[in-house]
Structure 1
Amino acid sequence: MGDRILAHLLAHPEGATDSELTRALGLKNQAQANQRCHQLADEGLVVRRRVNGRLRNYATGAAQSTPPLAPPAAPARPRPEVGAGQRPWHWEGNVQSWAAAYLLRQGYFVRRVADTAAHEHGIDLVAEKGGRQLWVTVKGFPAGTGSAQISAQARIWFEGALFDIIDWRGQDPGVELAMALPDFPRYRHLAERVRWLQPVAGFSYLWVHEDGSVLREDPAQRPG
């Protein structure tokens, strides 16, 4: 539940009250949201601020960051929620949110979360830790019933993510790079086929699972 709350707050920089989180995430009651937000605040991942007489929760990104004192005048465009049932778990926006929540827990400051629902251009996810940025390209997994068509589309999306990695490495040899993908056998097979490229381009995989957990696979040591 904690990662679902973090993912929601990352997608909503204007913050959310406990009751808003309860409705958005389909929790049993507001007490669940309240208890988990207190735990996240103790971990330094969430800050609770009173705004217009109501407590709002904000993802901090880093312990020293400061959330806005009030919701912005023009709130961010709404995006489908993780677990809201509107889209499959492997939709790109959900994968992006789970990856961002994972990076927060790893001590990264999340600087940018692109609006995938609106097909916003640019880097999908930008995080920073220790003064070094991490650029993440995010892909979902195709939905449908035709296995051949799904397999072909997945390959196209995987190739698009690979191009991002190669392009970005050319732009900045020192930046960290990663590819966030839902953990499907098709993507695992494609990753294995280009295994040689991972240490050469120096990028990591963030394998996102249906329960929101993330497995990070860093590149093997480059051959000397």
Structure 2
Amino acid sequence: MDTYGRASIRFILNGHHYDLSREDVANRLTGVAPDTIRKHAVRVNGTWFPVTQAFEVATGVPRSEFMSNTARRHLSALGYEVAGDLVPRTAPPIARAPYTPPATRTEAPPREAPETSAEWHTEANIQASLVTALATDGWRILSVANTATKEHGIDVIAARDNQTIGVEVKGFPSRGYADPNRASEVKRTSPSTQAGHWYSQAVLAAMRLRGKEPSWRSVIALPDFPRYRDLHAETAGSLAAAQIEVWWVDQTGTVHRS
């Protein structure tokens, strides 16, 4: 059975605007034979598909133009159940047989580390883990910002039981550049210093949300790094007084609420 999610979403991919609904996904995958599932799967109409195949068929966007992280994030936002192998990013590569989901499952799908980057702690991967966790817990995902285009606004908005939450998501800085043309360069600003700037930006965004939507829960989602833990320890009292929550996403994609 599919979990709860939004009936339709709007997003930007490679500079193009798309509207996608649960009905679109279900209709377009009806009668489609699933490809072999090697890592990440989504269940649509009671059948498991690779997330990239499902997203390609549903949107018409060739799978060569997006990553599985993007597919998983948007399908999760629509409430579809996703599953995959749990492989921490620091672990060496392991040869593994193709993933075959069981015909029937009632338990929650296994948590997984995002696969689209060599670093599990990018903003896109943290956001994808958060959206998956929220959808699994019964939250309706109302909107998800496109991290690839640095879309402005609240990163994730979700609702459940007459509550609405707005989440500001941050990753943890890397030492190198994501741009392949600058792969050999090392950033001048250290990750620790950059993390301080990103933490400050997240706090400011969360405070602004508290002022703009006082009835909402204001949340900051961060990868679980000692640097962020130290910064949180220094500001925990002020954040609590402002009713701002901090949630931690670990290397396996599990979300821990403070």
Give the TM-score normalised by the residue count of structure 2: 0.58
How far apart, in 2, do the equivalents of 1:21 and 1:117 lie? Answer: 28
Offset of residue 130 of structure 1:
1.2
How far apart, in 2, do the equivalents of 1:205 and 1:18 lie? Answer: 42
How is 1:131-150 mapped onto 2 (pairs within 5 angstroms)? 131-144=162-175, 149-150=190-191
- 1:18·1:56 contact (CA, 8 Å) conserved in 2? no
Q: Name segments (4+ residues, structure 1) moved above 3 Å.
A: 10-21, 72-75, 77-80, 145-148
How far apart, in 2, do the equivalents of 1:80 and 1:153 lie? Answer: 27
Corresponding residue pairs, total = 176
Offset of residue 185 of structure 1:
0.3
How far apart, in 2, do the equivalents of 1:156 and 1:103 lie? Answer: 27
- For residues 36-84 of structure 1, the C-alpha deviation after alignment (integer angstroms, 9 at most, x for no partner) is x5xxxxxxxx6x238xxxx576x9xxxxxxxxxx835679x83562632
How far apart, in 2, do the equivalents of 1:178 and 1:92 lie? Answer: 15
1:157 and 2:198 correspond: yes
CA RMSD of aligned residues (A): 3.6
How is 1:47-196 mapped onto 2 (pairs within 5 angstroms)? 48-49=44-45, 55=47, 71-72=58-59, 78-79=66-67, 81=69, 83-144=114-175, 149-196=190-237
SS of 2:120 mapped into structure 1: coil
Residue in 2 aligned with 1:208? 249
- For residues 143-164 of structure 1, the C-alpha deviation after alignment (integer angstroms, 9 at most, x for no partner) is 0178971111000000000000
Report which of the two has the higher share of helix.
1
Give the TM-score normalised by the residue count of structure 1: 0.66
> Percent of aligned pairs with the same residue?
29
SS of 1:118 mapped into structure 2: coil
- 1:95·1:182 contact (CA, 8 Å) conserved in 2? yes
How far apart, in 2, do the equivalents of 1:83 and 1:73 lie? Answer: 23
- For residues 173-200 of structure 1, the C-alpha deviation after alignment (integer angstroms, 9 at most, x for no partner) is 1111110000000000000101111222
Unaligned regions of 5+ residues in structure 1, if any? Answer: 1-5, 28-32, 38-45, 60-69, 218-224
Residue in 2 aligned with 1:66? none
Look up the equivalent residue of 1:109 and give its one-letter code.
R
How far apart, in 1, do the equivalents of 2:241 and 2:36 lie? Answer: 42
- For residues 96-128 of structure 1, the C-alpha deviation after alignment (integer angstroms, 9 at most, x for no partner) is 011111112222111111110111111100100
Offset of residue 20 of structure 1:
6.0
Question: CA 1:121 to 1:21, structure 2 compared with 1: closer, same or farther past 3 Å?
Answer: farther
Unaligned regions of 5+ residues in structure 2, if any? Answer: 12-19, 52-56, 70-112, 176-185
Question: CA 1:22 to 1:199, structure 2 compared with 1: closer, same or farther past 3 Å?
Answer: same
SS of 2:214 mapped into structure 1: coil
How far apart, in 2, do the equivalents of 1:149 and 1:158 lie? Answer: 14
Look up the equivalent residue of 1:215 and give its one-letter code.
H
Look up the equivalent residue of 1:22 and give its one-letter code.
I
- 1:124·1:137 contact (CA, 8 Å) conserved in 2? yes
